[in-house]
Chain A
Amino acid sequence: MTSLGIVSPQSMFFSEPLKLQSGAEITDYTLVYETYGQLNADRSNAVLVCHALNASHHVAGRYSEDAATTGWWDNMVGPGKPLDTNRFFVIGVNNLGSCFGSTGPMHDNPATGKPYGADFPVVTVEDWVRSQARLADALGIQQFAAVMGGSLGGMQALMWSILFPERLHHSIVIASTPKLTAQNIAFDDVARQAILTDPDFHGGDYYAHGVVPKNGLRVARMIGHITYLSDDDMAVKFGRDLRSGSYQFGFGIDFEIESYLRYQGDKFSQYFDANTYLLITKVLDYFDPAREFGGDLTATLKNTRAKFLVVSFSTDWRFAPERSHEIVQALVNNQRKVTYAEIEAPHGHDAFLLDDPRYMNVLRAYFNQVWQEVDSGVNGNSVNGAAALGAAA
């Protein structure tokens, strides 16, 4: 049973153009977000939760009695949960280019009056963080007690500490990486090729044709899903189990794993937008904050001010513990306060969404510390609220 109960999203329109890392610009845009808990009087208890590839602003709670409408990190966020909404004011925000309400490829391009489609500008983690900062301004939050995220969400938490060092006290980076490896990019490109070569893709303009590149999206999701699970986990869950007990000597579904992946692919292709998938895999591929610093992650993190919690999972081969070690090493080189937990978990990359008690205990203990700082007022709110507000029209 979810403990936040029924929640509902809100949206905010930003009329000021957002200059993107690519040089392009989004003239105006809407961000959809949810909040849980109460912002305290000195506005020091806000926590931003950043989402990964296929998630959204709907972090916790439900939209109805239907359990299928439960938020994607409901085990982490809620009253009495590790990120306790009785203490913290939690914000989930849907990123630009997504397909869950914030301005994205499915929305009309003001310049043409037609959906952006593949013309939606390619955004980056940096662009997302800048747009999130505007939302924070509009909500009157100058400093976050913490910014947290897993996977692509962790990249945003890390980018926050680089771009806005004064605006967060803690950065919580889970199952993430300072940049993708060639292997990661290769998987992403196979996924993109599946979509781009689907005859129903129509150069990204499939909305006008009344179709969706379902097959491409399905295959993309299947590829992605393989990388989220560990070899062991798949062996335990599916092994070589056969659907009907014997080989069919054809190209239909023989093995349980095939059935599972196809089911996941089908489900995904019914609710996710193909242009968004292309875009977000590019967001992943481009993420490399050390690039501007000649690849020197230590130099990249030199100006950070936050304290860090970095968490990885032993069987995560998508963003392996070694990638987290790189982050920790760079932080240690800068003498930043950092705690690192490496959770021995069989579930691969997906482990960051699951309920491993060792993982949950670390997060719970960490947020207790964050709360003690908020509660004792050590965070203060050195920046006065006047600079806030303004972006929202």
Chain B
Amino acid sequence: MNFNELSMLRPDLAFIAHWVKPGTSVLDLGCGDGAMMDHLQSDKGCCGYGIAIDDDKIPECVARGVSVIQRDLEAGLAIFADEAFDTVLCLSALQMMKNVEGVLRDIARVGREAIVSFPNFAYWPHRIALLRGHMPVSKSLPYDWYDTPNLRCATINDFAALANEVGLDVVECMALHDGQPVSFLPNFRGNLAVFRLRKKPAV
């Protein structure tokens, strides 16, 4: 899948793809229909695997030529060796985990670098919804509170502390709005938080 196709389909993924170096190995946790891996393989010469849990996603990934492994991320990434990948992607998936810290530790273990994105709970329409006394429902958080796969709500300001805790340095932190970077008041105006993380050097 070329860059323009990915930009049309998923502008957020297209932005993040810039951060993945050509020819590197990638593990995409919660890879969905495999669009990102497809792009990274065909346009950037990357190799690796997608991990998906939904039955429907497996044939979609296969159809894109993506090697997909059907596993629950929380069952552990035990099949992957330490530092098996140059980059581990976990894009709009971490907020669905019960054990966020455990998954993040595993990400730090199997990858040298990681790119993590999640819906920013501090996005201003979300704040307004709360001020009005309601849980936010928006494009980035499209579900009702009682029926959402998004178990965790985090803000850009909160995430860095946890990343640090599990042994990851924040290399870059961006807020995106509809796939475009937001530089002014990012934790207010961005609906997607994107972190580029690198394993802390061993002491």
Contacts and interface: CB of A to CB of B under 8 A. Distances in A.
Bound pair (A, B): yes
Interface of A: 307, 325, 328-329, 332-333, 335, 337-344, 358, 361-362, 364-366, 368-369
A339 B79 contact: no
Contacts of A335: 25, 47
A338 B69 contact: yes
A369 B67 CA distance: 11
A310 to B, nearest CB: 9
29 contacts: A325-B79, A329-B78, A332-B69, A332-B79, A332-B84, A335-B25, A335-B47, A337-B67, A338-B49, A338-B69, A339-B67, A339-B68, A339-B69, A340-B69, A341-B55, A341-B58, A344-B55, A358-B55, A361-B58, A361-B59, A364-B59, A365-B58, A365-B60, A365-B62, A366-B62, A368-B63, A369-B62, A369-B63, A369-B65
Nearest to B27: A332
Contact of A328 (B59, B61, B69): B69
B25 to A, nearest CB: 8
B61 A339 contact: yes
Contact of A365 (B59, B80, B81): B59
Contacts of B70: 340-342
A227 to B, nearest CB: 24
A364 B69 CA distance: 17
Say which size band chain B's interface belongs to: 20 to 34
Interface in B16-61: 25, 47, 49, 55, 58-61
Given A328-B69, A362-B62, A366-B62, A343 B55 contact: yes
Interface in B67-114: 67-71, 78-81, 84
Contacts, number: 54
A335 B63 CA distance: 20
A362 B59 contact: yes
Contacts of B63: 365, 368-369
A221 to B, nearest CB: 33
A335 B49 CA distance: 9
Contacts of B55: 341, 343-344, 358
Contact of A339 (B25, B58, B78, B80): B58
Contacts of A362: 58-59, 62
Nearest to B66: A339
Contacts of B68: 339-340
B19 to A, nearest CB: 22
B79 A342 contact: no
A358 B62 CA distance: 13
Interface string B100-141: 000000000000000000000000000000000000000000
Contacts of B80: 332
Q: Which of B78, B79, B84 has the most CB of A within 10 A?
A: B79
B121 to A, nearest CB: 32
A338 B61 CA distance: 12
Contacts of B61: 339
Contacts of B79: 325, 328-329, 332
Given A365-B58, A368-B62, 19 more contacts: A325-B79, A328-B69, A329-B78, A332-B49, A337-B67, A338-B69, A339-B62, A339-B68, A340-B69, A341-B55, A341-B70, A342-B71, A343-B55, A358-B58, A362-B59, A362-B62, A365-B60, A368-B63, A369-B62
B62 A333 contact: no
A390 B69 CA distance: 41
Q: Which of B49, B68, B70, B81 has the most CB of A within 10 A?
A: B70
A337 B41 CA distance: 12
A377 B116 CA distance: 38
A149 B46 CA distance: 30
A186 to B, nearest CB: 27
A375 to B, nearest CB: 14
Contacts of B58: 339, 341, 358, 361-362, 365
Contacts of A344: 55
A228 to B, nearest CB: 23
